[in-house]
């Protein structure tokens, strides 16, 4: 990258305080700034670095008040964090787009691949697949029969989409993710064995969804496993058959959601959370890491924590006593001894 401060400011609709002609060629943390680098400041914890950074320019909020003189050029914007994120997205896309279809790969004659899309080497594209405009499919992906991929999607190396799955526009699937694998469906038989239940449904991923590396989303037994618009899934998540995740919900790594559970809109779920099957979680619920959900969460906006989910405040009050259990047990023993003596 190589831009002037003025060009960056124009892109972010910001105001320059200092030299707008300085050339910038890299992005850095404010505490690690160097000549010709651009940093940003949004967290007050790092305010002190603004006065000693060696970065040539720093993006800051419009309402930031300087306490001392500075040597760096400033780009004042409405929201420094959001502006820096916008800049990162812009730079990420520079030169990212690859043209055409690399060889060797297999694309079935009935598949429809838009001329502006990219298919990387060693990728398999099955029968009747439909791939939209400006899609990027990197090396060693598998696209099963009848899959539909909307415009502007990205599939990173090694992503697997089983047959009949639907990926709507502007979605991103990271390396190693598996979409549409069989649900964990088995029925006990009279021989004390387990017979496999056919999984005939699919996975439907709505628009602007992002799915992290090595996450698995199982196909429905019948119907669809649904990941709604704007959902963000971290790496290493397990989503079982017939689950539905509501719009704009975010889920951190190593969480598992068992079959047929319904997660509401705008929920925040921490890492290593376990949610049992056939449950409903209301909208705007927040679940702390390592929490277990074994019953419906019916109240919107609830905040939960604990191996078996408590209301957050109840859990925190109880935890004070959990930590003191050895002392409390000792006190009870002493009281019992005193009572026996009497």
- Residues annotated as catalytic (active site), given as ranges: 241
Return the closest-CA partner of residue 84 out of 127, 28, 150: 28
Side-chain-side CA neighbours of 67 within 13 Å: the count stands at: 7
Q: Pairing between strand 274-275 and 292-293?
A: parallel
Shortest CA distance to 236 belongs to which of 213, 218, 211? 213
Q: Give CA–CA dist 266/106, Å, rounded.
A: 40
Which H or E run contains 330? helix 325-341
Other CB atoms within a 10 A radius of the CB of residue 93 amount to 9
Q: How far is CA 297 from CA 238, 278, 280, 318, in A?
A: 20, 12, 6, 20
DSSP secondary structure code for residue 32 in this structure: G
Q: State the chain's maximal CA–CA distance in angstroms.
A: 93
Element (H, E) at 149: strand 148-149
Between the two ends of the chain, the Cα-to-Cα distance in Å is 84
> Token pair 């439907």 is at which residue?
204
Structure tokens at 137: 């499919």
Closest residue by Cα to residue 255 from 241, 242, 244, 239? 239
Other C-beta atoms closer than 10 Å to the C-beta of 105 total 17
Residue among 290, 293, 238 at smallest CA distance from 264: 293
């Amino acid at each position: 990258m190589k831009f002037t401060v003025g060009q960056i400011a124009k892109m972010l609709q910001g105001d320059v305080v200092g030299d707008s002609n300085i050339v910038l060629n890299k992005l850095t943390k404010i505490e690690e700034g160097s000549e010709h680098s651009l940093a940003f400041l949004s967290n007050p914890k790092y305010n002190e670095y603004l006065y000693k950074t060696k970065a040539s320019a720093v993006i800051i909020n419009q309402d930031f008040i300087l306490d001392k003189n500075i040597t760096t050029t400033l780009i004042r914007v409405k929201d420094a964090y959001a502006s820096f994120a916008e800049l990162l997205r812009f730079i990420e896309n520079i030169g990212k787009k690859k043209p055409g279809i690399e060889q060797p790969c297999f694309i079935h004659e009935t598949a429809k691949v838009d001329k502006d899309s990219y298919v990387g080497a060693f990728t398999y594209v099955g029968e009747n697949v439909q791939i939209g405009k400006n899609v990027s499919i990197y090396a060693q992906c598998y696209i099963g029969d009848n899959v539909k991929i909307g415009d502007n999607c990205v599939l990173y190396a090694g992503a697997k989409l089983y047959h009949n799955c639907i990926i709507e526009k502007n979605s991103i699937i990271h390396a190693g993710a598996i979409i549409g694998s069989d649900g964990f469906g088995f029925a006990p038989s009279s021989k004390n064995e387990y017979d496999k239940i056919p999984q005939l449904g699919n996975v439907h991923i709505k628009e602007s969804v992002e799915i992290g590396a090595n996450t698995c989303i199982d196909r429905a037994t019948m119907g669809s496993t649904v990941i709604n618009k704007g959902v963000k899934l971290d790496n290493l998540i397990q989503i079982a058959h017939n689950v539905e995740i509501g719009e704009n919900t975010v889920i951190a790594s190593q969480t598992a959601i068992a079959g047929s559970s319904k997660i509401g809109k705008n929920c925040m779920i921490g890492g290593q959370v376990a949610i049992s099957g056939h449950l409903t979680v209301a909208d705007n619920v927040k679940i702390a890491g390592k929490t277990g959900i074994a019953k419906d969460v019916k109240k919107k906006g609830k905040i939960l924590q604990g191996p078996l989910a408590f209301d957050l405040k109840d859990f925190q009050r109880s935890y004070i006593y959990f930590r003191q259990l050895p002392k409390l047990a000792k006190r009870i023993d002493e009281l019992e001894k005193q009572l026996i003596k009497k």
